[in-house]
Structure 1
Amino acid sequence: MEEQKRSFKSKVKSFFVKILLGLIVVCALILWMCSWTYSEGTRAGQLIKFSEKGVVFKTHEGELNLGGLRTGNANDGLEGNLWQFSVLNDDVLNDLINAEGKRVKLSYKERYKAMPWQGETNYFITKVETINP
């Protein structure tokens, strides 16, 4: 009887250890996949907004006015053509703070999915160039 109890306890313990290891592997794989770059490119426009946002995780977010207007649905009418992005790098962060209100060309990388501590968007700025008017 005592052997059966030990055997049962060891089987239960082994089962939970396997589940825990499986969850750790899955989480590590998801984090690794989220760091993959989906696309890279540049966008140019006027930097109209830059802020630090978040309740638990503070992230740096911005908006770029790409110019022109686009139509919303029938009730909204016309709206500006805005592009939202996030920033991870402190050097890029300082460049953006200095360029607010100016025309800029932003180089970016798009990821499959951003983690909550990285930003609200999947677009991450890698380089800022000020465009002379």
Structure 2
Amino acid sequence: MKNINEMDSHVNQNESSNQLSGKVRRSFRRFIRVAIVLLLLVGGAFFYVRYYFVFGSGVKAGTLNYVVKKGYVFKTYEGILIMEGFRTESRGTLQSNQFVFSVDNANLADSLMRLSGRHVELKYNEYLGALPWRGYSNFIVEEILSVK
């Protein structure tokens, strides 16, 4: 009789340990799922803020130097606007103020290509990071405000 009771208690212990290990496995799986969802949300928020959130916007005026279409894989429109005035990075040197920008609208880029050498005012948006298909610069020109 003692052997049967001992076997029953041993079986009950195995069942309870199996139930406990099953609960631990389910808890661990749930933790992993929650962690993956949180990582995806944080990663998505970081990507949005870094590459799609408009950090600043404004207007720059100056002489349009050039706008070109270039790139190895992604052909993007890049340009330089030379603004009035000079800046000095070190004592005794002069350098013109250049505004390096990208254009993600092909029609706008074609219009800018025809305005090379003219005084223009450009409205732009500034992003925290550059995307390869949007251009090399963090500054994306949105429209031409005036041409002189």
TM-score of the aligned structures, taking structure 2 as reference length: 0.68
Superposed displacement of residue 64, structure 1:
0.6
Give the 3-state SS of the residue equivalent to 1:25 in structure 2: helix
1:27 maps to 2:53: no
Superposed displacement of residue 109, structure 1:
2.0
Residues 1:105 and 1:25: Cα distance change in structure 2 (over 3 Å): same
**Contact 1:84 1:121 (8 Å CA) reproduced:** yes
Q: Provide the aligned length of Structure 1 versus Structure 2.
A: 130
Identify the residue that residue 81 of structure 1 maps to in structure 2.
97
Identify the residue that residue 92 of structure 1 maps to in structure 2.
108
1:46 maps to 2:58: no
1:62 maps to 2:75: no
Superposed displacement of residue 124, structure 1:
1.6
Identify the residue that residue 114 of structure 1 maps to in structure 2.
129
Give the 3-state SS of the residue equivalent to 2:114 in structure 1: helix
Give the 3-state SS of the residue equivalent to 2:55 in structure 1: strand
Query: Using CA pairs below 8 Å that are at least 6 residues apart, which structure has the higher relative contact order?
Result: 1
Residue identity (%): 25
Between structures 1 and 2, the one with greater strand share: 1
| Aligned counterparts of 1:81 and 1:21: Cα–Cα separation in 2 | 46
**Contact 2:70 2:77 (8 Å CA) reproduced:** yes
**Structure 1 ranges of 4+ moved more than 6 A:** none
| Aligned counterparts of 1:131 and 1:12: Cα–Cα separation in 2 | 64
Gaps of 5+ in 1: none
Deviations 1:35-76 (A, max 9, x none): 33333322111121334455665543221100232222137x
| Aligned counterparts of 1:87 and 1:56: Cα–Cα separation in 2 | 16
Identify the residue that residue 104 of structure 1 maps to in structure 2.
120
Gaps of 5+ in 2: 1-16
| Aligned counterparts of 1:51 and 1:7: Cα–Cα separation in 2 | 62
